[in-house]
Structure 1
Amino acid sequence: MPDSKGHQAEQLAARYLQDHGLSLEASNYRTPLGEIDLICKDQDQLVFVEVRYKANQAWASPAESVTRSKQLKLIKAARQYLQQHDPAGHLSCRFDVVAMTGDIKAPVIDWLPNAFY
């Protein structure tokens, strides 16, 4: 998320997940195939997180904006990350979405573990 509200949303999401027991491994992991906003660990599981922020939900919720096309890009980027960081394939992983709405200074946060596969 290149804009300042997007960056704020990612920082808030990282803190939220850390407050809920996850550890932050990386942020804004970029590949030619796509970008992963946050990469966390939840015990022995790697968690690839897409962060979405919308001030309002007039047309769709932030979570609904993670289309199947976007999911496939995230999956491809995650595969590349795993090839570099877990070549033996020992880590299990999942894809979460952190959706935020409202005022960016105090958003409503909806964490969706295992949002897609």
Structure 2
Amino acid sequence: MTAGQAAEQRAQHYLEQQGLTLVERNVRYPFGEIDLVMRHQHYWVFVEVKYRSASQFGGALQALSQAQIARIRKAASHYLQINRLDAPCRFDLVAIDNDQLHWLTGAF
């Protein structure tokens, strides 16, 4: 298991402890990927997981670019369309720096 996969698994476990339910992991399209698709009450939650083992180049919270956000939004829109879902959704970020986990709801 890679460090990225371990970080996604850790994020999933943490979010499940907070009351979210996993729907799918690693949903890939040619134009973007969604790390975790989860449900939280009546929301569909698209989760981006960022992991950094060292912070010399900026931590995990700073690792999300505008281009990545655009790709995630496009992938989420496509996911909602192909699954015929008409429900509120939000985009969360789980940033893991070494052993510290930060969960930002509605991050972008």
TM-score by length of 2: 0.95
RMSD: 1.1
1:94 and 2:90 are equivalent in the alignment: yes
Query: Structure 1: 5+ residue runs without aligned partners?
Result: none
**2:46 aligns with one of 29, 48, 58:** 48
**1:84 aligns with one of 62, 82, 85:** 82
Provide runs of 4+ in structure 1 moved above 4 Å: none
* d(CA) in 2 for partners of 1:86, 1:17: 25
1:108 and 2:74 are equivalent in the alignment: no
Q: How many residues align?
A: 108
* d(CA) in 2 for partners of 1:61, 1:68: 16
TM-score by length of 1: 0.88
How far is 1:30 from its partner? 0.6
Q: Give secondary structure in 2 for the equivalent of 1:58.
A: coil
How far is 1:85 from its partner? 1.6
Q: What's the CA shift string for 1:3-62, capped at 9, x where partnerless?
A: 700000000000000000000000000111111000000101000000010012112121
Query: Structure 2: 5+ residue runs without aligned partners?
Result: none
Mark the CA change 1:86 to 1:63 in structure 2 (over 3 Å): closer, same or farther: farther
Q: Give secondary structure in 2 for the equivalent of 1:115.
A: coil
* d(CA) in 2 for partners of 1:85, 1:68: 26
* Identity fraction in percent: 38
Q: Give secondary structure in 2 for the equivalent of 1:114.
A: coil
